Structure 1
Amino acid sequence: MVRMGGVRWLNLLMMIGLVACMRKPAGSGPLIYEGPYRVDLAVGQGLPGTDVRYLGLGPQGARVRLEGQEVTRLAGDSLEAEAQPHPTLKVRYNLRIYSYDKQALHAIGTIRAELQGAQPRAAPLPKAAAARFTAPVTYRVPKGGVIPGTSIIFAGKEEGRARLEGIPGYPYRNVGDSILWEGQIHPLVYLDATFRVLLVEDEWLTVVGTAEVWLSGF
């Protein structure tokens, strides 16, 4: 079995994702989540939502089906694919194979989910997911605005604290406090988000954290 530094790759990808996310303010456009992703494909199994499939070990390397054709791949080779399991959801895999054998192929890289028309509602997470990953998120939310991907509203600043609406119980958060949200944001997407209050201003709330994305139903 041929291996590469999977753990180091994962740490590097998380740092890259965090830097990229820090540049994106909250907006009214599509919701985009991107983060590190590892997949272990047993023989005959494919990337969720795509025709990419591990066919088994061949004489020269891993036999993989890509875009309807068989190709031999080696450790370090790319494994890329796009899926559109719903008209308003696009998923992009950017992976590299780091090992394979007679039983399975292992790849690591990033996954990107872009969805339009999110309608967040509090709901329990599903029991299983077709694909699941954690993405870094940072948002600057205007007074009266909603934290993207949630139903939480920044109602304003009171006595130095953020007052929130759309959450059960105590509505206030100081700088450094956590904000939790769990629910469904799309027919095929669930979110388990953990934010920290970074800055509270009279007209703006800045939060940073992670969103565990569950892609389900395809």
Structure 2
Amino acid sequence: MTNPVLSLENVNAGYGETQVLRNLSLEIGAGEVVSLVGRNGAGKTTTLRTILGIITPTSGTVAYRDEDISAIEATETVRRGIALVPEERRIFPELTVRENLELAALGGADSGNALSLEEVLGMFENLAERTENSGSSLSGGEQQMLAIARALVGGAELILLDEPTEGLAPFIVQDVMDIVRQLNDRGITVLLVEQNVHVGLELADRNYVINQGEIVYEGTSAELEADEDILEQYLGVTN
């Protein structure tokens, strides 16, 4: 990869005295879907928080479009076109679907690539039927769709998805996977954090396996699926 849109080089980061990431390096090309998979506590969410700027690395570099963003705050990172869709979704429960989206549009990126409310609702039929419903009245799958929709109206060009299928029924998981494919079709770059290895294998162009804060494997989905030792040792998956 000659010119990655996002690169982490020898990043060390954590919480106070607790180090979580250890010399972590990865790269994502523009328009790629890349998955970061690993067991609980491996450092997946910490990686996303470090990219966004919620956590500042103690050493190493996070670069986005050739700019070092290691030390800037999350609000500035969002303005550059990076959005985090957290595992807990964090929609505003008392606001309607429309109000959630309108608010996201106000605080988004300066990229000029934001989708209009109408465009986003065209992608999410369930939300289009519930624009005046409160966030708290939505199902888990609909809340996940709303969280992704907010990133789109905010003009995100790189979306960090943290466990988007966690706790969802299998048929809703398929809906979320279809949405990720739609994002990719629009040229949006996606870093997908998943404990569900099969979701990552199906969606991603490439996969990184993380264990105890270190990248222990990188390869295409076909390569990872064929590597039984890595699947069993680090992901607890047996073919």
TM-score by length of 2: 0.24
Q: Give the alignment's TM-score, normalised by structure 1.
A: 0.26
Structure with greater strand percent: 1
Structure number with larger C-alpha Rg: 1
Structure with bigger RCO (C-alpha 8 Å, 6+ apart): 2
